[in-house]
Structure 1
Amino acid sequence: MKNLVVLISGRGSNLKAIINAIESRKINAKISLVLSNKKEAKGLEIAKNHGIKTKFIDPSFFSSREGYDIYIAELIKKEKPDLIVLAGYMRILSDEFIDAFEGKIVNIHPSLIPAFQGKNAQKQALEFGSLITGCSVHFVTKDLDSGPVIIQAAVPVLPEDTEETLSERILSYEHRIYPQAIKWILEGRVKVEGRKVIVKDAKYGTIPVNPSLEDF
Structure 2
Amino acid sequence: MEFDFEKESKKPVIMKILIDVFIWIAQIAAVIFLAYFIIYYALEKTNMIGISMESTLYDDDPIIINKFSYRFNDPKRFDVVVFKQSGKEHSYYNIKRIYGLPGETIQIIDDNIYINGEIIEDIVKAEPMANYGLAGEAITLEENEYFVLGDNRNNSEDSRFASLGNITKDEIIGKAFLRLSPFNFVNKLNLKQENQEED
The two structures have a TM-score, normalised by structure 2, of: 0.24
Instruction: Give the structure with the higher percent helix.
Output: 1
Larger radius of gyration: 2
